[in-house]
Amino acid sequence: AQSVTQPDIHITVSEGASLELRCNYSYGATPYLFWYVQSPGQGLQLLLKYFSGDTLVQGIKGFEAEFKRSQSSFNLRKPSVHWSDAAEYFCAVLNGQGGKLIFGQGTELSVKP
Amino acid sequence: KAGVTQTPRYLIKTRGQQVTLSCSPISGHRSVSWYQQTPGQGLQFLFEYFSETQRNKGNFPGRFSGRQFSNSRSEMNVSTLELGDSALYLCASSFRQGGGDEQFFGPGTRLTVL
């Protein structure tokens, strides 16, 4: 069965520091992968997606992610974190049967001043 | 272009009642998916509608149902509410059915069951 694992429930980084959020997926075929961000009381905003092609994907707000098939990973990175990046981040894979996103449990990011 | 809108934003119901939530997709989008978000279970897929037909369904009891209208607007209904139905219900729209396309999420409806 398809699944997504985000090993880190909560991460705290200092403002200006680099960030890497981990995501591992289980999927038989070539996955369609996504990273979403959710601020408190809000819906999900798409940061970036990977469908095919270049394995390094650029997204909004200075985020990027790298697809590594050999490691079944799709980690999210940002070189310098801003206080406004504090939120919950979700990795997701699109189920091949259509229309269904399978989400990880989320990683809550806190940013220290 | 207006985003996905959901109404109402907040609801309080009591056990045994039923509730209807509404979702208006982005103009031109024909696919609407619904998700339930709870602290314990995270984000779980409920169902997807495209061209007024349910195309995919998650593992939820029959108390959860939905429909889609000809203008692509969708409603979700939960009958005989239980305490465990308290959650944030998110709606997402996309242009195509079945994936291969990004889903745009609305702000959600926060349902509290007392």
Check A102 against B105: CB less than 8 A apart: no
SS3 labels along chain B: CCCCEEECCEEEECCCCCEEEEEECCCCCCEEEEEEEECCCEEEEEEEEECCEEEEECCCCCCEEEEECCCCCEEEEECCCCHHHCEEEEEEEECCCCCCCCCEECCCEEEEEC
Which has more pLDDT, A52 or B107?
B107
Name, in order, each residue with C-beta under 8 angstroms of A53's C-beta and a sequence gap of 6 or more: none
pLDDT at position A40 is 87
Q: Which of B6, B10, B54, B103 is the best residue to mutate to test the A interface, defined by the most A CB atoms within 10 Å of its own CB? A: B103
- What residues of chain A, 61 to 100, have a C-beta less than 8 Å from chain B? 90, 92, 94-100
Q: What is the CA radius of gyration of chain A?
A: 13
**What span, in angstroms and rounded, lies between the C-alpha atoms of B64 and B87?**
13
Q: List, for residues A18-68, the tens digit of each pLDDT value.
A: 999 999 999 877 789 999 999 988 889 999 999 888 899 999 999 999 999
Burial (CB count within 10 angstroms: exposed 0-12, middle 13-18, buried 19+), residue A75: middle
Q: Is A45 on the interface with B (CB under 8 A)?
A: yes
The answer on pLDDT for B99 being more than 80 is no
Q: List, for residues B40-95, the tens digit of each pLDDT value.
A: 999 999 999 999 999 889 999 999 999 999 999 999 999 999 999 999 999 999 98
Q: List, for residues A50-64, the tens digit of each pLDDT value.
A: 988 889 999 999 999
